[in-house]
Structure 1
Amino acid sequence: MGELFARLRAGYGAGPRHLLVLLLCFVVTGWVALRVAGEATAGRMLLWFVGAVVLHDLVLFPLYALLDRGLRAAVGVPARPSAAAPGRNEAERATARLALLNHVRVPALGAALLFLVYLPGVLGWGADTYRAATGQERTPFLGRWLVLSGALFLLSAVVWVIRWARWRSVRGNRDPAERG
């Protein structure tokens, strides 16, 4: 059985669980495609999907790659791990800076995804249609998005401070001969 898995990994490039999950994804995608194909608005959905892919690949990805490069430069994280100094202390500092960068990236991603999902509400588009359909106003969307985004950044900052304090205490408890 181990030889079969080794041959699968050599030929496929991944293990059997990966293949099973990928096949499951294809089944779900096929089911969704069959469900959507019968819809009268399938063409519009396809157009939105293609537009979203093009918008992401040609506009958004270069934009957030540029923003990430700027964040890396501001925090002092090298673009390539090999660019870091080989010393132990510098490697620890680079790891801490990368952790800080990730504590900015994650809430920023959450805020951006929430913004995209609730874009019409946050920007106030379609307020008349929303009011006619629900009888409610759209005014709280922007405030709620700002509060939720702020909460994401605050939670990330609290987690970072706790991790940084633990890192400092572990680093301080090392043998003095190991400290550099």
Structure 2
Amino acid sequence: MTLPRPVLGSPLHLLLLLCSFALCGYAGVRLLDGDWFMIALWFVGAAVLHDLVLLPLYAAADRALVRSTGRWVNHVRVPAALSGLLLLVWFPLITGMVSERYAGVTALSADGYTARWLLVTAALFGGSALLLVVRVRRARGRGPSASG
């Protein structure tokens, strides 16, 4: 049995790959320049927390969602995922944990991030619900009872 040859790609692809590795290495060196032990501990703790606690929780929630909504599950998944991503990115400002530091660095107020995140979340779920209503009505319009 012969082993498959590795695909190397074009020279441009290899150059971009080497540049991305160099950039990641530089970022890693800069990140670990300070308190490297606490940073490494944070990464390991985040991975363990995600894999052992959060993943089973949202997998169970997704299974329950699939059972309860059936084929319309993505009308809940997509807005929930987008809202969760926004929460993940803006968590310190949404919770107000860094309001003073944010105001000191940017000279802008950090007020309103929670309300805006809630409004965006409501708009995502509202738009998804509206799309679901439109799709259900179209599906009922095409049914056998509509032609008879």
TM-score bracket relative to the smaller structure: 0.7 to 0.9
Aligned match for 2:141, one of 141, 163, 169: 169
Aligned in 2, Cα 1:159/1:54: closer, same or farther, shift over 3 Å?
Answer: same
Q: Which position in structure 1 is the counterpart of 2:60?
A: 66
For residues 170 and 121 of structure 1, the distance between their equivalents in structure 2, rounded to whole angstroms, comes to: 47
> Within the alignment, does 1:128 sit opposite 2:122 as a pair?
no
Aligned match for 2:49, one of 52, 55, 59: 55
Q: Which position in structure 1 is the counterpart of 2:26?
A: 35
Aligned in 2, Cα 1:166/1:73: closer, same or farther, shift over 3 Å?
Answer: same
Q: Which position in structure 1 is the counterpart of 2:116?
A: 144
Q: TM-score, normalised by structure 1?
A: 0.62
Q: Which has the higher contact order (CA 8 A, sep 6+)?
A: 2
Aligned in 2, Cα 1:42/1:158: closer, same or farther, shift over 3 Å?
Answer: farther
For residues 30 and 174 of structure 1, the distance between their equivalents in structure 2, rounded to whole angstroms, comes to: 59
Q: Which position in structure 2 is the counterpart of 1:92?
A: none
> Within the alignment, does 1:104 sit opposite 2:76 as a pair?
yes
Which one-letter code corresponds to 2:25 in the other structure?
L
- Unpaired runs of 5+ in structure 1? 1-10, 76-96
* Alignment coverage as a number of residue pairs: 137
- What pairs up with 1:148-159 in 2 under 5 angstroms? 148-159=120-131
Q: TM-score, normalised by structure 2?
A: 0.74
Contact 1:36 1:42 in 2 (8 A): no
Question: What stretches of structure 1 move > 4 A for 4+ residues in a row?
Answer: 44-48, 173-176
For residues 42 and 31 of structure 1, the distance between their equivalents in structure 2, rounded to whole angstroms, comes to: 22
- Unpaired runs of 5+ in structure 2? none
